[in-house]
Amino acid sequence: MTKIGTPLTSVAKKALLCGSGELGKELAIELQRYGVEVIALDRYENAPAMQIAHRSHTLSMLDGKKLREIIELEKPDHIIPEVEAIATPTLVELEKEGYHVTPTASAALLTMNREGIRRLAAETLGLPTSKYKFADNYEEFVEAVRTVGIPCVVKPVMSSSGHGQSTVKCEEDIDKAWHISQDGGRAGAGRVIVEAFVKFDYEITLLTVRHCAGTTILEPVGHHQVDGDYRESWQPQAMSPAALAKAKEIATAITGALGGYGIFGVEMFIKGDEVIFSEVSPRPHDTGMVTMISQDLSEFALHARALLGLPVPSVRFYGPSASKAIVVEGDTDKVEFGNLEKVLEEEGVQIRLFGKPEVKGHRRFGVILATDDTVEKALAKAERAYSKLEIIIHGR
């Protein structure tokens, strides 16, 4: 039986977020709706979730000793990984000592590193995946490209939001791709995966919720990426009945193998009726931000319910919806957004501004959400709203 006390008292139910970006912020809001005391962790100060949490700590979460010190100090009921760059072996140790990691420490360990999850999917579960090879140094990398073939996609084994990812389209791209992968990894330079380029019609995220009453699979989310970083997503993605059935089978298999309660973002490539597994994240997914307008329980609300041990009897889908990322480019700690009254003048449009403290290069600062009669109309509405947004970059 789930019991939740009052925050900041001796009977409080405490959740510790390992990662406090925009996804962590929305999850913190949902947890606080249930009266959960939230502690936010991240590598930089004033991260979005830190701005609303009861307490926060700034650290490199790859520092297992420091991470353990904070967890032993806070004694949370739930440890919730929200980014890849975490000392996951420390989480495994802590789980053995009685702490609860969402969905499980082994799931965090496997999915924070592309090698673990790819080997589980392809070699243990026998799920269809692209051809792949791993490499630890430049010589192995060149050999992996030769083996997998050109074109191919190169990614650090530990990264997110497209960091360190590139496509090798010809021989001249090999050296550049290696350097991109070494500069963009969440844990610094190191091991990479080289994947055969998959010719697909579209790609989806199938948000899958494991909870105390079973498994719930949401309407498929389609998305558009630039260099591996999400720019637009929509729901539902039109699929053939056969492809959808296969996708659900794959999502059920991989999330079942990972175990625990929570939401998983299962990414797949679709070619006709063929479905190829790509990746899985054991937490809310950036492409799933569209659920903040498309259904009565967002992916964040569902994650909160599931990890607290609460059931999900049903999810009401409202209809065709879209999201468009607000990406800011520059080098500043002063960003303003203007013309919002025009952005929101159409019916069925919402905006979320994350409150990130600075940008160096390019960074996602918010998202525009839209609904309409069709996905195409929702996407067009989101694009119109985005075109009216004024982004003001001030100098440091």
Q: Which residues are catalytic?
A: 160, 162, 267, 279, 286-287, 364
Cα–Cα distance between 381 and 218 in angstroms, integer?
23
Largest CA distance in the chain: 62
Q: What is the mean pLDDT of the chain?
A: 94
Number of neighbours of residue 250 by Cβ within 10 angstroms: 22
Give the tens place of pLDDT for each residue, 78-102. Answer: 999 998 789 999 999 999 999 999 9
Predicted structure pTM score = 0.92
204 alpha-carbon distance from chain centroid: 13
Give the pLDDT confidence score for residue 191 in this predicted structure.
87
H/E stretch holding 91 reads helix 88-96
SS3 category, 226: strand
Give the pLDDT confidence score for residue 313 in this predicted structure.
96
Cross-strand bridge partners of residue 276: 269
Give the pLDDT confidence score for residue 187 in this predicted structure.
53
Give the pLDDT confidence score for residue 189 in this predicted structure.
60
Give the pLDDT confidence score for residue 185 in this predicted structure.
60
Give the pLDDT confidence score for residue 111 in this predicted structure.
84
Give the tens place of pLDDT for each residue, 23-44. Answer: 999 999 999 999 999 999 999 9
Give the tens place of pLDDT for each residue, 302-321. Answer: 999 999 999 999 999 999 99
CA dihedral 370, 375, 381, 382 (to 10 degrees): 60
Region 1-28: mean pLDDT is: 96
In 3D space, the residue among 354, 349, 341 whose CA is nearest the CA of residue 371 turns out to be 349
Supply 230's token pair: 């999400």
pLDDT band of 393, cuts 50, 70, 90: very high
Residue 227 has pLDDT above 80, yes or no: no
Give the tens place of pLDDT for each residue, 149-195. Answer: 999 999 888 766 567 888 999 999 999 999 998 876 655 567 899 99
pLDDT band of 69, cuts 50, 70, 90: very high
Give the pLDDT confidence score for residue 184 in this predicted structure.
63
Cross-strand bridge partners of residue 317: 295
Cα–Cα distance between 194 and 174 in angstroms, integer?
11
Residue 115 has pLDDT above 90, yes or no: no
Cα–Cα distance between 269 and 353 in angstroms, integer?
30
pLDDT band of 76, cuts 50, 70, 90: very high
Strands 359-371 and 321-332: antiparallel
The rounded percent of the chain whose pLDDT value lies above 90 is: 86
